[in-house]
Amino acid sequence: MAYVEELKQYGTVMGLETMRALCARLGDPQNSLKFVHIAGTNGKGSVLAYVSTVLQTAGYKVGRYVSPAVTDYRERFQVDGRMITQSALCSCLERVKTAAEAMAEEGMAPPTLFETETAAAFLYFLDKKCDIVVLETGLGGASDATNVISDTLVAAFTSISMDHMDILGDTLEKIAAVKAGIIKNKCCVVSAKQPPEVMKVLRQTASSCRAKFFTADAARAKNVRYGAAKQRFSYDRYKDIEIGLLGQFQTENAVVALEVIMALGRLGYPVAEDKLRQGFAQTKWPARFDVIGKKPLFIADGAHNEDASLKLAQSLRFYFPDRRIIYIMGMLRDKEYDKVVRNTCELAEHIITLTPPVPGRALHAYELAQTVRQYHDSVTVADSVQEAVEIAYLLAGQDRDCVIIAFGSLSYLGELMNVVEHRDTIRRDSHGRSEEN
């Protein structure tokens, strides 16, 4: 882990030259694996969770590579839903470190942290003999380190919107063109219904790669029933599919995942309907409209850009139209935090700001509070995650119908979830003792 910390100094470097050289020294493990590759602005993690859980339930050995981790660094590397062991992580990282040091001795550019982690993931998934690896892009697509792979079964696209414009481009067409770079020759392409200019780019790229294109149109989902515990929908020949992930937008993500599963079936990876249903119902994904506490209801969500904030506001209006809502917000300064605040603030009775634990990129709680005050009169600055949680509970008081929602950067949500869980454990224990007395 000291080596991991050391690599953070190299930041983010787009391009595949270093990644290809690194993988070549490791025997190109990625060339012996088959992938579902997922790109998009929002929803990648949810689609990954659905697809990998369904495939695992159907009996396939499934690798998951996700970013960022929420509660444990090892979340990034999973096989059949279980995190990599510490010893396996050390083994894989040591092999990559040896290759990286040899490259440095020859005067080559050092691999970044993400490149190192991605190469380690390939080694791990090959060691575990995975049937399929469900792979989430880090940033963009074409020049993302994950795009060194060659055997893509399905290239999947969640909703594409404006984000990382300084790197990916300042128009939807430019961003879509970068993300479309994950489409490989003769693979299947599955995309959520996108704005027309995005669909045009994706279809043209698929056509040039002789790839079959399938649109996952959430508007075709019928009998959609939303709920605060589980949700249901029907799509194509599948009737009354149950999902446990919450938020109105999850139907769209589930439909993309369902189209991916259908595409894999055409490619020789069938999934029986009972296993498909079981997989969707059992899918979990932390910090995505995730209920982490009750009485009052406490939700954690990774909404950190304009599109995600609009979807969050839509879900809050739908689920909690007449309830008091308290926000905890922590943002990175390279995100469109002003738009996130503007899109969500009117729904909150009170807003608590904090500083995420991301040196160099974190927006200080005081700066975020200044932005919030342009749109909202009731703001408190918290010095820590612990303090933010305590303030939120104090503001909620005895109102069991109050809703606390923590959102923004995923970087602080893991700690927040631990704080809430610890607090609930203490409360349950003290309640139990008082009943005994």
Mean pLDDT by 10 residues, the chain (437 residues): 86 87 97 97 92 98 90 93 96 96 93 95 98 92 93 96 62 91 97 95 97 96 88 95 90 96 97 97 90 92 89 92 96 92 96 93 96 96 97 94 94 94 77 55
Write out the DSSP string of 210-248: T-EEEEE-GGG-EEEE--SS-EEEEETTEEEEEE---ST
Domain with CATH 3.90.190.20 in the chain: 290-436
pTM, rounded to two decimals: 0.88
Beta bridge mates, 407 = 301, 329
**Cα–Cα dist 308/126, whole Å:** 34
Q: Are 255 and 217 in contact, with CB atoms under 8 Å apart?
A: yes
Give the sheet arrangement for strand 238-243, strand by strand: 222-225, 231-235, 238-243
pLDDT at res. 153: 98
User: What are the backbone angles phi and psi of residue 207, rounded to the nearest 5°?
Assistant: -65, -45
> Which secondary structure element, helix H or strand E, spans residue 38, and what is its range?
strand 35-39
pLDDT at res. 221: 95
Domain with CATH 3.40.1190.10 in the chain: 2-282
Tell me which CATH code domain 290-436 carries.
3.90.190.20
pLDDT at res. 129: 98
Instruction: Give burial (CB, 10 Å; 0-12/13-18/19+) of 69.
Output: middle
pLDDT at res. 169: 58
pLDDT at res. 27: 97
Nearest to 247 by CA among 43, 38, 400: 43
pLDDT at res. 335: 87
Angle between helices 385-396 and 413-436 (to 10 degrees): 50
pLDDT at res. 13: 78
- The beta strands (E) that lie in 98-181 are given as 132-136, 152-157
Tell me which CATH code domain 2-282 carries.
3.40.1190.10
